[in-house]
Amino acid sequence: MMKAGIGILASALLLLLSGGCGGKGANAISDSIADNSYVGDWKQDLSAHAYAMADSILATLTLEEKAAQMMMPALFSSDDIYTLKAVGDYGRKGIGGLVLLKGISTSAKLISDSLARASAVMPFISIDAEWGLGMRLSDEPSYPLNSDIGKDATERDMFVYGAAVARQCRRIGINMVLGPVVDVAGRDSFMGRRSYGDDPVRVSDLAVAYARGLESEGVMSVAKHFPGHGSAKGDSHKFTPVIERSLHQMDSVDLYPFKKYIESGLSAVMVGHLAVPAIDPDMRPAAVSYTVISELLQRELGFKGLVLTDALTMGGAEGAGADKALEAGADIILAPEKTDREIKRIVKAVEEGRISEERLNASVRKILFYKSLLTLRR
C-alpha cells in the first residue's frame, strides 16, 4: 500500500528502474523528480562550521555520554507504550541514534520526533531501505529488488531513485539509510536478491549513483558490507561466514565498489561480520578486526567517513563487544543486544587504559561532525 501523494512518484520510479519506459519519457520523469547533478560541494562548504559545532558539543560530554553517542540500538516502528518509554530513556542517556525495524510510517515518525525531543544532541535515525522504505515500513513504497533492477537502468535513474527515497525518509524523520548494498554477487549466492549483480563495475556505478542521490537530499548513505559479503556461502545473521577469495580477487571484485564509493566522498561504510583470511590471517570478524578497518579501510583505501558495525545482535557477531569494535577502528555500534552493557564496556576500557580517551574522542567528534552537517544542511 502506498501513501497518498507519493503513489505517482513511486509508479514512475518503478517503471524507470524495471526498464518499463525509456527515451524521452524516462527523461521527463527524471527531470520532474531531481536534477542529475550531485550537490556534493555542500559538505565541503559547511565542513569548517560543522567541525566547530562538533568540537563545541564534544567539550560538554561526559565519558558515558561519549560512549552513548556510539550506540544505535534497534527498535520496531511501533507506538506502544514500551517502545515509547525506551525511546525516552535512550534520549535521556544520550544515545547516538536508532535503527528502525518493521512497522508503519506514522509510528516511525513518532519515534523519530520523540527521540529528537528527548535528546540533547540530534540523533541519527536509520533504516534499511535497500529497495525503498517498504522494505521495513508496510505503508510505504517498495521498488524492485536490487537484483531485479532493469539492465537499461542508468546512473541518472539511480540518482533520481536515491533522491526520491531520501525525500520520503526526511518526511518521517529518517536521516540515514543503511544502504546501498555494494556486495558483488550472482543470483545463486546468499546475497543474490540484495545485490546489483556479479559485475563489480555495474554494482559500483548503480550503488554510487543511488548513494549520491540520497546525499543530494540530505540523507546519509551507508555502503555495506565491507570488505564484501558477495561470495559468502552462509548467512552472517546466524554465524560468521568465511570469505575464501584470494587477496587479488578481493581487490579486483569485492573492494572495487567500496573504492568507488570512497572516491566519491560519500559518508559511511558498514563492516560485516565476516572472516576474511586473505586480509586478516587471524580470521577475526571484520567488524572487530583492526587489520580490516584501521589498516585496510581507513589507511590503505583512505576512508575518512563514519565506520559502522553490522548489528551486534547477529549470530556472526558472537563475542564481539563495542570495546573491541572501537579498538578496531569503528565509530558506531549498530543494534547492540544490551545497550547499557556496551556503554559500560567502552567506559571501562577507557578507565583501564586499554583504549585512550583520545581514540574515543576521535570517533565521537566524527559522529558529531556528520550530525552537524545534517543540521546545517536543513
Distances (CA, A) of 244 to 25, 199, 247, 276: 45, 18, 9, 7
* Residue 4: band (very low, low, confident or very high) from pLDDT cuts 50, 70, 90: very low
Q: What is the mean pLDDT of residues 40-44?
A: 59
User: Is 309's pLDDT higher than 80?
Assistant: yes
What is the chain's percent helix, strand, coil content, to nearest 5?
50, 10, 40
Average pLDDT, the chain: 88
* Residue 28: band (very low, low, confident or very high) from pLDDT cuts 50, 70, 90: very low
Portion of the chain with pLDDT greater than 70, in percent: 84
Q: Name the residues annotated as catalytic.
A: 237, 310
Q: Single out the residue of 84, 133, 77, 135 nearest to residue 101, CA to CA.
A: 77
User: What is the chain's length?
Assistant: 378
The structure's pTM equals 0.89
- Beta bridge partners, 99, equal 74, 126
The H or E element containing residue 127 is strand 124-127
Q: Is 6 exposed, middle or buried (0-12, 13-18, 19+ CB in 10 A)?
A: middle
Poorest-pLDDT segment among 59-68, 276-285, 340-349, 359-368: 276-285
Amino acid 1: pLDDT: 41
Distances (CA, A) of 120 to 47, 52, 58, 88, 90: 21, 17, 12, 12, 11
Q: How far is CA 148 from the centre of its chain?
A: 22
Q: What is the mean pLDDT of residues 315-342?
A: 88
Contacts of 99 (CB under 8 A, 6+ apart): 72, 73, 74, 75, 126, 127, 128, 178, 311, 334, 335
* Residue 35: band (very low, low, confident or very high) from pLDDT cuts 50, 70, 90: very low
Give CA–CA dist 329/88, Å, rounded.
29
Give CA–CA dist 314/150, Å, rounded.
32
Give CA–CA dist 132/222, Å, rounded.
14
User: Is 165's pLDDT higher than 70?
Assistant: yes
